[in-house]
A and B are shown apart, each in its own frame.
Chain A
């Protein structure tokens, strides 16, 4: 069996809550309908079952400018899940190989 997602385990990304990340958080929530947004002082933690995809294009639309996904480093606090990063997508997931 390849690449079957174990859906019940949560992946997460935590970001600083600031004016840069408002649009990024919006974009992530739009691209991941099953994601849950938890808000804490100065930070947010987005949990999603199995998989979370962060798409450059959606963030660019939300920000109204071009965006290099590596910029997420500036506001990233933590994450859970295996990372797969390309120019277009930053994916967090728990896969079964």
Chain B
């Protein structure tokens, strides 16, 4: 299955390869069943940023306004890289955690918090 084109072996240029981001790479972030944010976020990150910095600084900045955020028990959170669950190593970098360019990282709570439930997320 591939494109049919008037030009034989047509292939468009990749518009968003990692080399175009001045040393950074794109990262998607999403909180499953959070009820409030309508879409995942896309941010540029340094590949050598430790996962701890992502978890302790970046994620609170993005998701902190959510009333359930402060009550999250992070030891019970499941992390996903794409569709696959994984256990991040806080001491290692994003790259060492397998978080490559344009990865989408999601986190899911064992059950929704009270605010998410008040917005209609099923318990």
Direct contact of A and B (CB under 8 A): no
Residues of chain B whose beta carbon lies under 8 Å from any beta carbon of chain A:
none
